[in-house]
Copies of this chain bind each other. A is one copy, B any other.
Amino acid sequence: MKKLLIHITMAFCGLMLLACANQEETEATVNTHAPKLLLTQNGADFIMAHQDNVLIEKSLGKLRTAFNTAVEKPLEFPQPLDAGGGYSHETHKANYQNALTAATLYLLESDTSALAYAKEILIGYAAMYPNLSTHPEGKTQAPGKLFWQILNEEVSLVYLIQAFDAINSALSENERATIITGLFEPMVSFIKDESASTFNKIHNHAMWGVAGVGMAGYVLDHPEWVDAALNGGDKSGNSGYFKQIDQLFSPDGYYSEGPYYQRYALMPLVILAQAIEANQPEIKVLEYKDGVILKTIETTVQLSACNGYFFPLNDAVKAKSIETPELGYALPLVFDHSENPDLWVEVMKQNGNVVLTDALVGLHKKKCEPFKRNTLYIKDGPKGESGALAILRSDPFCGGTTALLKFGTHGMGHGHFDQLGILWYGHGNEILADYGAARYHNIPQKFGGRYLPENDTWANQTIAHNTLVVDENNQYGGDDDLADQHHGDGIYFINSDSIKAAAAKNNTAYPGINLQRHVALVTLEGLGAVTIDITTANSEQSHQLDLPFHYKGDIVFRKPAVQMEANQLTVLGKENGYQHLWLRGASETTKLAQSTLVNGNSFYTISTTATQPFKVLWAQTGANDPEANLLHQEALIYRSKEKSQTWVSVLEPHGDYNTIHEKTSGAATQISGLTAEENNGVLTLKITTVSSQEFQLEFELSENQNFNNPHISISKV
């Protein structure tokens, strides 16, 4: 899968077919029932005139296939009885999706069978909806009527109102009135008024409610619905769309729960933005909060590795990549408003799921340019004052390494206890990895596809991350609420040609212990682009300090040599994730450890020293896992017991492993020596290479440094 995406990235630009048809567009006649939302007649005409554009061709093909599949079955409107996954739930979900599919095809192709089908669904619901009471399975605080959860009801409104909008001008007065009074008025009333407590929440689910109600307001000419959607049920601005944007997304476009949930939260955010822009351009929604909506879309894409997979922070399903359909609305919107739309043509191609809306108008004039992933400091929190993610990239494409340092907000119920954790990638492959969520998503046999118990006992625990663990405890004692009240803080960030670096501190995760992490991408002559990774812990008491690296690949060299356990494996610890680790072996105390991995076509060596001696533990997940829920993954853990300890690792990509031509070069690390000394708050690192070069690097470890100009020096001795 990963390779496939890389392949696509390279191939797409070359393959692009750009239509060069006439650019004149027909001016729509004034018609109060003309489409008003994301796809208007103008957009439809453009799309049909440019069917040979590969993006349009693909999406149009999918629409046609989906419609042809839908009409094979008779339409049904079962009494709402089942919860998610059940018959009535899945049938109503298919109905609203099919209504939008058919209505869109009608708008595009004037296909009267599609019109009839969309109409039948809307009229069917108009007949049914007024008679529904709350859903029998709706035992939560927020039940729907068609669905067990109000969330699903809100999503259905987003689809159905768009379907109605697309066929509105083809309806008779009578049909129109039937649908409005039978379906949309009661549905909006149910969502906006009867379910006001949800509608006015600050939560990504409520975003769907405001999107649906706001769009219904535009289409049915109810400005008060729009007002409620944008400014909350009481129109005070303390809830509603703008307040949600304020609270849920940081000014840099980051969503606290992490990239996996970010792409989901993005969809209603974007749909309503596009509808507002079409109907009330004077609001300048895309300029709101310094353009945070478009920034959020761009940040979502930047939060993926160069193979397209999202960084698996917090509760993430690792299979999620930018191919995800939720980006189907977002990417065209950012394309439409970007100063450099050519870049987004490629991303839309990688996504492959663009929704056909007016945002695509102009596509025929755009070239395809390789998208660049950048070195970024992405501030977290509503005002950008709650820590950040720092992403350091040696290369904007897939040629180098990427390091990510996390010190933002916890991420609420989906957060992991991984302050100051890092991820590290080589050529788009995970090398130092995050387990993601412990979950077999959508696989019924595994706990219904929901989060497994091991999500709480392993995946979100501190030891499951590439960050320091004190006394085998979790950060914040494993308490989500406590963790949500805190975050790390940046010390510095540099993004220059010669060095890309970030440092952060956290003094709250473990009481009485000051933690820092510094990560720097530097190019050393003869060694190439290496990553320096520094972790410090300072305390007045002595603590057991464990620094884990969860590596991906096959270990081909280990120093010190450790004989792995032969006949018996025992568990490493009792709780906080340690109960899931088998201890494969442990070294004597050392001050230099090196491990070389092969992964894909490259080698990677982790060379580690510290100011105090430490042991190397070799571990593997799988203990205390009676149902075999955990994937078997390996880790090395550096362990020492000290009041103060500073670890320094040099992460070194090297060599070339060509299995097709059976040629290997540079398989061995170029680093032969590594020492670290701390004096007066300055860390001095010496690196010796096998060709007897010596480098000296200095990092100041003070918490208070010039954010843009910290004290780092690099010299060749």
Contact = CB atoms under 8 A, between A and B. Distances in A.
A626 B569 contact: no
A663 interface: yes
Interface in A514-564: 554-558, 561, 563-564
A237 interface: no
Given A443-B667, A445-B668, A628-B564, A323 B1 contact: no
A567 B624 contact: yes
A306 B368 CA distance: 32
Contacts of A567: 570-571, 623-624
Nearest to A11: B11
A558 B618 CA distance: 29
B4 A445 contact: no
A324 B620 CA distance: 34
A86 interface: no
A328 to B, nearest CB: 11
Closest 3 CB pairs of A and B: A319-B659, A569-B569, A442-B664
A283 interface: no
10 contacts: A320-B659, A325-B660, A353-B660, A441-B659, A444-B667, A445-B667, A446-B556, A555-B628, A584-B628, A632-B632
Tell which of A323, A440, A618, A659 has the most Cβ of chain B within 10 Å.
A659
A662 B321 CA distance: 12
Contacts of A706: none
Nearest to A571: B567
A700 B618 CA distance: 52
Contacts of A662: 441-442
A556 to B, nearest CB: 5
A383 to B, nearest CB: 33
Given A4-B4, A598-B443, A632-B620, A659 B317 contact: yes
Contacts of A623: 566-567
Q: How many copies does the complex hold?
A: 2
A61 interface: no
Contacts of A627: 561, 563-564
Contacts of A558: 628
Nearest to A655: B443
A596 interface: yes
Nearest to A580: B566
Given A317-B659, A620-B632, A443 B323 contact: no
Interface of A: 1, 3-4, 7, 317, 319-321, 323-325, 353, 440-446, 449, 554-558, 561, 563-564, 566-571, 582, 584, 596, 598, 618, 620, 622-628, 631-632, 634, 657, 659-664, 667-668
A568 B567 CA distance: 11
Contacts of A664: 442-444, 449
Tell which of A325, A618, A664 has the most Cβ of chain B within 10 Å.
A664
A625 B634 CA distance: 15
Given A323-B660, A569-B568, A659-B317, A557 B440 contact: no
A566 B572 CA distance: 12
Tell which of A7, A317, A319, A443 has the most Cβ of chain B within 10 Å.
A443
Contacts of A582: 569
Contacts of A556: 440, 443, 445-446
Contacts of A570: 567-568
A446 to B, nearest CB: 5
A353 B567 CA distance: 46
A130 B582 CA distance: 62
A105 B668 CA distance: 35
A556 B448 CA distance: 11
Contacts of A568: 568-571
A666 to B, nearest CB: 10
A634 B625 CA distance: 15
A184 B557 CA distance: 44
